C-alpha cells in the first residue's frame, strides 16, 4: 500500500510518523514499512484513514538482521532519532575480518517480524563487545528517515504473509 507521510515525530522522544492510509486500505498493526532504499519501520497503530509507524531508530525497536557477505544473523535495535542503529547480539567476533567496508545488512526473515532480505543499512563501525566474544556493529540506515515523503506498507503479517 503506497502511503504519504503526513506527520513527523512531535517530540524528541517520539520515533513515529503518521501515514495517510489506514485499515480501510488493508493496513494492519505489525506490517513492515519500507521505501525504495530500505526498511523504515512497522505499523504500531491504525485507524480507518491513518496509521502510526514506529521508526527503526526507536530504541525499543528490535529487528533480526543478516550480513550480506557472511550470511551471519544477529539482532539489532535503534538508538534514537537521527542516530545510527546498533547490532549488538549474535555476531561472532571471529567474523570481524569477513565484514567488508560498507557491508549491507538486511532483514533476517527467520521467524522475524519482517520478510527476509529488506535492506536495512550499511555498517559504518565495528568494535568488540565488552565480553570480547561478539561484535557491536554500528549501522547507518539506508532509508532517509529525516525526509520521508512517501512509503510503502507491505501487507505482510508473518507466517505465510
Partner 1 sequence: LTGLKAALVLISALVLQAAVVSKLGLFGGAHGDLLILVPITAALTVGPERGAIAGFAAGLAVDLLVTTPFGLTALAYCLVGYCIGAFQDGVLRATWMLPVASAVIGSVVGTTLWVLAATVVGEEGLLSRDLVGVLVSVAVVAGLLVLPALRVARWVEADMDRPLVGARLRS
Cβ closest to partner 1, residue 10 vs residue 130: 10
- Residue 43 CB, nearest distance to partner 1 (Å)? 12
Residue 64: how many CA atoms within 13 Å on its side-chain side?
13
Grid cell digits, residue 20: 495517510
**Residue whose CB is less far from partner 1, 19 or 99:** 19
Shortest approach of partner 1 to residue 80 CB, angstroms? 4
Which residue number, 83 or 133, has a Cβ lying nearer to partner 1? Answer: 83
Looking at beta carbons only, is 58 or 103 nearer to partner 1?
A: 58
- Looking at beta carbons only, is 84 or 119 nearer to partner 1? 84
Q: At closest approach, how far in Å is the CB of 135 from partner 1?
A: 18
Binding residues vs partner 1 (CB under 8 A): 7-14, 16, 44-45, 52, 54, 58-60, 77-83, 146
In angstroms, rounded to a whole number, what is the distance separating the alpha carbons of residues 85 and 91? Answer: 15
To partner 1, the closest distance from the beta carbon of 143 in angstroms equals: 16
**Beta carbons within 8 Å of 99's beta carbon, 6+ residues apart:** 67, 69, 70, 123, 126, 135, 137
Q: For the range 118-121, what are the long-range contacts, defined as Cβ-Cβ under 8 Å and sequence gap of 24 or more?
A: 118/32, 118/34, 118/38, 118/39, 119/37, 119/38, 119/39, 120/38, 120/39, 120/56, 120/63, 120/65, 120/76, 120/85, 121/38, 121/84, 121/85
Give me the least distance between CB of 116 and partner 1, in Å please: 26
Amino acid at each position: 500500500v503506497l502511503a504519504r507521510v503526513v506527520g513527523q515525530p512531535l517530540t524528541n522522544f517520539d520515533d513515529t510518523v503518521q501515514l495517510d492510509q489506514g485499515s480501510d486500505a488493508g493496513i494492519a498493526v505489525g506490517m513492515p514499512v519500507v521505501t525504495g532504499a530500505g526498511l523504515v519501520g512497522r505499523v504500531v497503530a491504525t485507524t480507518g484513514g491513518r496509521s502510526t509507524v514506529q521508526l527503526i531508530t526507536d530504541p525499543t525497536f528490535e529487528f533480526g538482521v543478516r550480513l550480506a557477505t557472511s550470511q551471519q544473523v544477529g539482532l539489532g535495535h535503534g538508538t534514537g532519532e537521527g542516530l545510527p542503529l546498533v547490532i549488538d547480539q549474535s555476531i561472532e567476533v571471529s567474523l570481524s575480518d569477513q565484514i567488508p567496508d560498507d557491508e549491507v545488512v538486511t532483514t533476517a526473515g527467520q521467524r522475524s517480524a519482517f520478510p527476509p532480505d529488506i535492506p536495512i543499512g550499511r555498517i559504518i563501525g565495528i568494535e568488540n563487545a565488552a565480553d570480547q566474544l561478539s561484535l557491536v556493529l554500528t549501522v547507518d540506515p539506508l532509508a532517509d528517515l529525516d525526509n520521508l515523503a512517501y512509503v510503502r506498507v507491505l501487507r505482510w503479517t508473518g507466517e505465510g504473509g
